[in-house]
Chains A and B, each alone.
Chain A
Amino acid sequence: MRNIAVIFRKELRSYFVSPIAYLLLTMFALIFGFFFWNALGYFVFVGMESQMRGETFPMNVNEQVVRPLLANISVVGLFFIPMITMRLFAEEKRTGTIELLATSPIRDAEVILGKWLAALALYACMLLISAVNFAFLFKYGNPDWKPLAIAYLGLLLQAAALLAIGTFISTLTKNQIIAGAATFGVCLLLWILEWVSGYETASWARVISYMSVIRHFESFAKGVLDSKDAIFYVTLTSLGLFFTARSMESLRWRS
């Protein structure tokens, strides 16, 4: 446990002493802000229009602002994951510091968990920044906070799974660019798998679209905590971390 904390602190620090963390936070804040402004603008537009027409269309901030906004953000997250995970192991392998970790009295699992948790913490920081936007929403509107919390939990679970996969890919190469590009490809694939269900309803298509990480976010976006989707993310996370451990072990046999 102590060792995990040692690695965690070191990783989080190196995110924040380099420009990576600030770049990601800034980009995320801008993109989130844009989506937020869009979603809100559309909400106001629809509201005014229905008023002018004299209709009493039921308006709901959670359904019409939070849900589409966070569904977008779950896709935006896919683009940020590779930038967070690509350096985790690739850099240590390139500079040789992996030898320090591997010859210290610390278990592989502790190294992996420490690094993965640091990546998750950085992602959580990004999400935290978006809370600024919601502060305005709460000041001028009255959204329900519970579905919002569940949607954020979903974003974190989804990121945990993708970060675990990214961590695994980072152990496979010395080259950060390759690790980043491969992770990006896998993330993208895990998103578009869902599209199969658009034209095909056979069981194979359902299996494939079930693998899509975005599909499992839908219930979270609605504010529904569906154990089926939560378990999917947790399973994917464990699988990613398990493969990372196996890959780290095999480094010793191959190098």
Chain B
Amino acid sequence: MITVTQLTKRYARNTAVDQISFEVEKGRIVGFLGPNGAGKTTTMRMLTCFLPPTAGTAVVAGFDVLEQPHEVKKHIGYLPETPPLYPEMRTAEYLNFVGSLKGLSGSDVRKQVDYVCQRCAISDVKNQLIGRLSKGYRQRVGLAQAIIHNPDVLILDEPTAGLDPKQINETRDLIKSLAGDHTIILSTHILPEVEQTCEQVIIINKGKLVATDSVQNLQNRARGFESVLVEISGRNGNLTSAAGQKRLEQVSGVSRVSLKETRHGSLVFEVESQKAGSIRGDLARTVVEAGWDLIELRHTGMSLEQVFLQLTRTDMPSSPDKVSTAAGEAR
């Protein structure tokens, strides 16, 4: 449904989006994940034909954003970061306006307005001024506006930003219920949101594609990973941080060891493993055999959050490769 090829957006001083390529199948919900300023909004704006790409292209619903923007616009519904609402209009009136703007005929508009009001649970504020609505209602009116012409593709920029937890849940449920009929791309910087709503995730950072995978695979990977905190203290000064690090790295399955902090007389290491199954037993044995004291051995797990942080960490230039291999192993 959406094919993005080498999409790039450069400004005078910086590159907002750098050669991003990905594909989205029909009827899927895709999470577009990245820290603030990663280029999510810019990418979405290029997909909606609001901004023209500097290089590369995207095909949305079978139409090229550069060649046939008019056709693309007919087939997408877009909810920008701030819902594009006119505060001086009443809800129904606004939806009528957007409906006719999207090219619906008179009788269709009325039918669709009723439908989306019911779908987005805003029927009770139909005749209220949008300027007087609460944030949650405004967001839902924004969503209603995006689906009024029953578009093939829905592009939602941070649809849950600024809502309270209850509203966030309602909005997520609403978005989930829209999948199937629509192909949905939603951007967010909140991880649990992706875990709960999306089937596929695209992670970008600083304009570059970091990973694209199914949420299932990412979660498997997160489970496959183990992260352990090890606190060791030496006897008679036989422990140096270099020696400790080296010894721990030799334990089978360990992929990374880093010194977290130096406490009084002891060292705390963070050990990561990619092996399925725990490495804690091996670690304990290694430490004792080396003649050190094991003060603490704690499993810290690896949530999607940590995977994400790891992927978007700036000091890891080779992260895309690492992701694909790691994901492969987890499978």
Does A105 reach chain B (CB closer than 8 Å)? yes
A51 within 8 A of B: no
A95 to B49, CA, bound (A): 19
Q: Could you say which interface size class chain A belongs to?
A: 20 to 34
A228 to chain B, nearest CB (A): 40
> Nearest chain B CB to A6's CB is how many angstroms away?
5
Interface membership of chain B positions 71-98, coded 1 if the CB is closer than 8 angstroms to chain A and 0 otherwise: 1011010101110111111000000011
- Asked if B48 is at the interface of the complex by the 8 Å CB criterion, the answer is yes
Q: Bound complex: CA of A90 vs CA of B103, how far in Å?
A: 25
Interface centre among B73, B84, B87, by most chain A C-beta atoms within 10 angstroms, is B84
Residue of A nearest to B83 (CB): A96
Query: How far apart are A242's CB and chain B's nearest CB, in angstroms?
Result: 21
* A159 and B80 alpha carbons, distance in the complex (Å): 36
A103 & B49 in contact (Cβ 8 Å cutoff): yes
Complex Cα spacing A253 to B45, Å: 12
Tell me whether A96 and B76 are in contact (CB under 8 A): no
Is there an interface contact between A99 and B97, defined as CB atoms closer than 8 Å?
Answer: no
In chain B between 141 and 175, which residues have their CB closer than 8 angstroms to a CB of chain A?
145
Residue on A nearest B87 in the bound complex, by CB: A95
A102 touches B97 (CB 8 A): no
A6 to B94, alpha carbons, bound, how many Å?
12
> With a CB–CB cut-off of 8 A, which chain B residues contact A98?
84
At the interface, yes or no: B15 with Cβ under 8 Å from chain A? no
A97 and B84 in contact (CB under 8 A), knowing A103-B78, A105-B70, A105-B102? yes
- Chain A 99-115, CB-CB to B under 8 Å as 1, else 0, gives 11111111100000000
The CA-CA distance from A88 to B70 in the complex, in Å, is 23
**Cα distance, A102 to B52, chains bound together (Å):** 12
Quick check: is B100 within 8 A (CB to CB) of the other chain? yes
What is the chain A residue whose CB lies nearest that of B70?
A105
> Given that A105-B73, A252-B50 are contacting pairs, would A97 and B86 also be in contact in the complex, using a CB cutoff of 8 Å?
yes
- Stretch with Cβ within 8 A of B (4 or more), from A10-18, A72-80, A145-153: A10-18
Which residues of A lie under 8 Å from residue B89 when comparing CB positions? Answer: 13-14, 17
Complex partner residue of A99 from B52, B74, B76, B78, CB under 8 angstroms: B78
Contact between chains at B84 and A100 (CB < 8 Å) = yes
Within 8 A of A (CB), among B19-59: 45, 48-52
B84 touches A99 (CB 8 A): yes
Cα A14 to Cα B51 in complex, Å, equals 27
User: Does A3 lie at the interface of the complex (its beta carbon under 8 Å from any beta carbon of B)?
Assistant: yes
The CA-CA distance from A105 to B52 in the complex, in Å, is 16
Nearest B-chain residue to A7, judged by Cβ: B101
With contacts A6-B101, A99-B80, A103-B73 taken as known, whether A17 is within 8 angstroms of B88 at the C-beta atoms is: yes
Partner of B76, one of A6, A100, A103, A106: A103
Contact A3 B88 (CB under 8 A): no
Interface residues of A in 56-96 (CB under 8 A from B): 95-96
Contact with A6, one of B80, B81, B97 (Cβ below 8 angstroms): B97
A227 partner residues in chain B, CB cutoff 8 A: none
* Interface check A142, CB cutoff 8 A: no
When distances are taken between beta carbons in the complex, the residues of chain A under 8 Å from B49 are: 102-103
Q: Judge if A255 is at the interface, Cβ distance under 8 Å.
A: yes
Closest to B78 in A: A103
Interface residues of A in 221-255 (CB under 8 A from B): 252-253, 255
User: Smallest CB–CB gap between A91 and chain B, Å?
Assistant: 9
The interface bits of chain B over 95-130 (1 if a CB of A lies within 8 angstroms of the residue's CB, else 0) are 001101111000000000000000000000000000
Contact flags B245-275 to A (C-beta < 8 A → 1, else 0): 0000000000000000000000000000000
Separation of A103 and B78 alpha carbons in the complex (Å) = 8
Given contacts A6-B100, A104-B102, A253-B52, 15 further A-B contacts (CB under 8 A): A6-B101, A13-B89, A14-B88, A14-B89, A17-B88, A95-B84, A96-B82, A99-B80, A100-B78, A100-B101, A102-B49, A103-B49, A103-B73, A103-B78, A105-B70
Show 28 A/B contacts (Cβ-Cβ < 8 Å), sorted by A: A2-B100, A3-B101, A6-B97, A7-B101, A10-B86, A13-B89, A14-B86, A14-B89, A17-B88, A95-B84, A95-B85, A95-B86, A97-B85, A99-B78, A99-B84, A100-B98, A101-B101, A102-B49, A102-B50, A103-B73, A103-B78, A104-B98, A105-B71, A105-B102, A105-B103, A252-B50, A252-B52, A255-B51
